[in-house]
Amino acid sequence: MRVHFDFDTRATPAQVREALTDTGARRLEVWSRSLDPAKYEVLEEGEGWAVVREGSAGVPFWVLLRYEWPTPDRVTWTLLDSDHCDRGTGEVRITPRDGGSHVDVVIHHAGGRGLRGRAVLLAQRLLGPVAFARGWRAALDRMAG
Q: Mean pLDDT over residues 93-101, rounded?
A: 97
Q: Mean pLDDT over residues 89-118, rounded?
A: 93
| pLDDT for the residue numbered 64 | 98
* Phi, psi dihedrals of residue 139, rounded to the nearest 5°: -65, -45
| pLDDT for the residue numbered 68 | 98
Distance (Å, whole) CA 51 – CA 64? 7
Domains in the chain with CATH codes:
2-144 (3.30.530.20)
Residue pLDDT, tens place only, 115-130: 888 888 888 889 889 9
Could you give the residue ranges of the DSSP H alpha helices within the chain? 13-21, 25-30, 114-144
Residue pLDDT, tens place only, 51-63: 999 998 888 899 9
Distance (Å, whole) CA 77 – CA 9? 21
| pLDDT for the residue numbered 111 | 83
| pLDDT for the residue numbered 110 | 85
Distance (Å, whole) CA 51 – CA 127? 27
* Phi, psi dihedrals of residue 68, rounded to the nearest 5°: -140, 145
| pLDDT for the residue numbered 102 | 98
Global pTM value: 0.93
User: Does the structure show a pLDDT above 90 at 70?
Assistant: yes
| pLDDT for the residue numbered 145 | 86
The overall average pLDDT reported for the chain is: 94
Which residues are within 8 A (CB) of 92 and not within 5 positions of it... i.e. 6 or more apart?
Answer: 16, 20, 74, 75, 76, 103, 104, 105
